[in-house]
Amino acid sequence: MFPLTEENKHVAQLLFNTGTCPRCIFRFCGVDFHTPYRLPYKELLHDLQKFLETEKDELILEVLNPPPKKIRLQELEDGIDNLSQNGEGRNSVIDNGSVASKNSNLNVCNVCLGILQEFCEKEFIKKVCQKVETSGFEFTNLVFSVSFPPQISVREHAAWLLVKQEMGKQSLLLGRNDVVQLKEAYKWITHPLFSEELGVPIDGKSLFEVSVVFAHPETVEDCHFLGTVCPDCFKPAKNKQSVFTRMAVMKALNKIKEEDFCKQFPCPPNSPKAVCTVLEIECAHGAVFVAGRYNKYSRNLPQTPWIIDGERKMESSVEELISDHLLTVFKAESFNFSSSGREDVDVRTLGNGRPFAVELVNPHRIHFTSQEIKELQQKINKSSDKIQVRDLQLVTREAIGHMKEGEEEKTKTYSALIWTNKAIQKEDITFLNDLKDLKIDQKTPLRVLHRRPLAVRTRVIHSMDAHYVDEHHFRLYLKTQAGTYIKEFVHGDFGRTSPNIGSLMNMTADILELDVESVDVDWPPALDD
C-alpha cells in the first residue's frame, strides 16, 4: 500500500519536481513505518509517479525569496540541468513558469546525494558483506554504522525550509523533528538485508562493528558559508581533517536564522551530477579481556618492558611472556597489560600469584572453549621457566575493576631477607613480632620519584614475624596494606620512611631479597586445574 495520501500530494510533487528521491519524499512527509522504504527503488519511483499523475493542477515551482519573474525564467531556461529532477521525469519550463515533464535517465537526489538510491540496494549490500566475510573476524552478530557527508545536513535543512514554507500556505506546520532522519531510514532498509546476507542479527550492543564512510567531493563546499555566518561553531580539532564536522554543521544550522540561510544557500538545493563515493568500509571488533594470576620466579625480570632513552635494558618481561602468546592466538592488533600492583625487577612473586588482565585490541578470533584456554595456559607455562600463569579465563571489562580495587584496599604478604650492620641475637628481633598495625609515613621513594608524584603516604604494617638466620641476617614475614614500599620500610630511604626497621632496631638495616608471598585479592575466580 502506497504510504502517501492526498494531503501529502502537493509537497510530494514539489519535492519530486525539484529533484528529491522517493525515499526522501517519504521522510519529509513523515512516513515513519519501515515497509515502504524497503521496496526496490525502481518500484518506488514507478509508484510515486503513478501517485502524482492524478494531480490535475499544474505545480508552479516556488523557491524561498524568489527573484523577479523575468530573471527566474531566464535562469531556469539557461540552467535547466541544474534543477534536480528525479527518475524519468526531467522538467522543462513553459511560459507561465509551470513545470512539464520529459523522459530522461535517473538523477541523483538533491537531498541525500544518492544514499537512499543505489546505496540501499542489494548489490551494494553484497559488496559490503564480501568485505566483512574476507576480513577474517569471528562474529555472531554485528552493529552497522554509517558516516554521511556533513553537507547532507545543509541540504536537508534547505529542503525542510522549502516544505515548511509550502505547508505554511495551507496553515500546516512541519517541525524539524517531524522529518524522518536519514540515518534511521537507511538502517530500516539495510539492516534486514545485512542480516539476510550474513546470517546474523543486527545488535546495537554487538562488539563487532561494520562501518561505511561516505563522501561527496562535488558538494563539499556546501557547508562553507556557515563558517562565515557562524564562525564560533567551527573550531579546529587535532584529529579532524576539516572543521566542518557533522556536529559543528548541526550546531550552526540550529543557530542561523532562516532568512540568513536562504540568502546563502538555494532552497531547494541544486542537483548534483554524481552520487556519493564510499571512502572506506571497515570492520573492527571491540576489545576482549583475558585475566589470570602469574608467578614470577626470576630476580632478573621486569614486569613490563624496561626501556630507558629508547634502549631496552632486559630482553623480556612478564607482560611480554604472557601477552605475546595471547596476541597470536586471538589474532589481535595490540594489547594492554595491567595488574594488581607491581613488583620490582629483582622481586619474586610466589604463592597464588598476582592478578593480571590483558586487553586484546581488535581481536579477529574471540570464541574459545575452556579446554582451548587451558591449553593456551599450558603453552605459556612451557615457554619459560621465569613465569607461570594460573586461572587463565575470559572476563568482562567491568570485572577488571575488582582487580584494581586490590591495589590500595587489600593486603599483601611479603618475606624479606634482611642484613644488619651490627651483630644480632634472636632476642634482638622478637619485639618485631609484637608490633601490630604499625602506622608508617612514606615519602615517595627516591628510586620512583621520576614516575610518581612527591607525596607522603601513610601505610599500615599489620603484622610481622621475624626468623633469626645468623648474627647479621634474619628473615622477616610481613603482612601490610597494599601500596607499602617494603624496601624503604627496611632501610628507611635516608629517613624518608619513618619508622623503619633500622630505626626500630637502632642500627643500619638493608634488604637483600624480597618475595611477594600473596596478593590478597579474590579475583579472578580460581579454576580447577
For the annotated catalytic residues, the residue numbers are 344
- Rounded Cα distance between 28 and 269, Å, is 14
Alpha helix (H) ranges present in 169-245? 182-198, 224-229
Question: In angstroms, how far is CA 194 from the centroid of its own chain?
Answer: 22
Most distant CA pair in the chain: distance in Å? 118
Q: Compute the C-alpha angle 274/11/255, nearest 5°.
A: 70
- Rounded Cα distance between 433 and 476, Å, is 9
Q: At what angle do helices 9-17 and 151-168 cross, to 10 degrees?
A: 140
Q: Compute the C-alpha angle 45/47/48, nearest 5°.
A: 65
CB of 481 within 8 A of CB of 409?
no
Task: Classify residue 499 as left (phi > 0), alpha (psi -120 to 50) or beta.
Answer: beta
For the record, the C-alpha cell of 278 comes out as: 564510499
Query: What stretches of 237-347 adopt beta strand conformation (E)?
Result: 277-285, 288-296, 307-308, 311-312, 334-339
Which of 16, 21, 26 lies closest to 61, judged by CA? 16
Question: CA end-to-end span of the chain, whole Å?
Answer: 63
- Rounded Cα distance between 322 and 337, Å, is 9
Q: Compute the C-alpha angle 333/338/340, nearest 5°.
A: 165
Coil, helix or strand at residue 295:
strand
The neighbour count for residue 248, using CB atoms within 10 Å, is 21
Q: Compute the C-alpha angle 483/489/491, nearest 5°.
A: 140
